[in-house]
Amino acid sequence: MSLKSTIESDIKQAMLSKDKDSLRALRAIKSQILLAETEKGREGDLSEEVELKLLTKAAKQRKDSIEVFEQQGRNDLAEIEKSELAVIESYLPKQLSEDEIEGEVKKVIEEVGAAGPQDMSKVMGAATKRLAGKADGKVISSLAKKLLS
């Protein structure tokens, strides 16, 4: 079952249970899916990889918003974003721990034959592909820098 049909089914469930927080998050995800499907030059359904990128982007937007709202003392808005983030994260694969990410980055460094900081782009390219949706890019980047220096 594709993400779109899963989301549509969950929207119906949220409507029936009158869960406004979940409904808002699910509608936002569906909106992003529909926008991606109707992009110029796109045909057919979205691949699982594209769906994962959409969810990751939506989660990152919520995290950034939470950070800004908390800095500005708007805890009411931060709580809304947190509830939406929880719904979005339920559709993402399990996030890896920092130790697991470090292990994967070490493997990537060995595979691409990276020798130092000048090979950062090779490592990041391979690592972000391998860890897509399972780890934050900032964490991957900081660990790669640490291991390459």
pLDDT of residue 35: 87
**Angle, CA of 103, 87 and 44, to the nearest 5°:** 85
Distance from C-alpha of 65 to C-alpha of 60, rounded to nearest angstrom: 9
Helix, strand or coil for residue 3? helix
Q: Does domain 98-148 have CATH number 1.10.10.410?
A: yes
Where along the chain do the CATH 1.10.1510.10 domains lie?
Answer: 3-89
Model confidence pLDDT, tens digit, residues 101-140: 888 888 888 888 877 778 788 888 888 888 877 787 888 8
pLDDT of residue 17: 93
Q: pLDDT grade, residue 1 (50/70/90)?
A: low
More confident residue, 9 or 121: 9
Where along the chain do the CATH 1.10.10.410 domains lie?
Answer: 98-148
Among 45-54, 77-86, 91-100, 131-140, the range with the most confident prediction by mean pLDDT is: 77-86
Q: Which residues contact 30 (CB under 8 A, 6 or more apart)?
A: 4, 7, 8, 11
Mean pLDDT calculated for residue range 21-28: 91
Q: pLDDT grade, residue 95 (50/70/90)?
A: confident
Residue in the block written with tokens 């399990």: 94
Instruction: Look up the CATH number of domain 3-89.
Output: 1.10.1510.10
CA separation, residue 92 to residues 21, 26, 95 (Å): 18, 13, 8
CA separation, residue 30 to residues 7, 27, 35 (Å): 7, 5, 9
The widest CA-to-CA distance across the chain, in whole angstroms, is 57
Say whether pLDDT at 93 is over 70: yes
Model confidence pLDDT, tens digit, residues 25-71: 999 999 988 888 888 777 767 788 788 888 888 988 999 999 999 99
Nearest-CA neighbor of 126 among 107, 142, 99?
107
CA separation, residue 89 to residues 58, 92, 134 (Å): 9, 5, 11
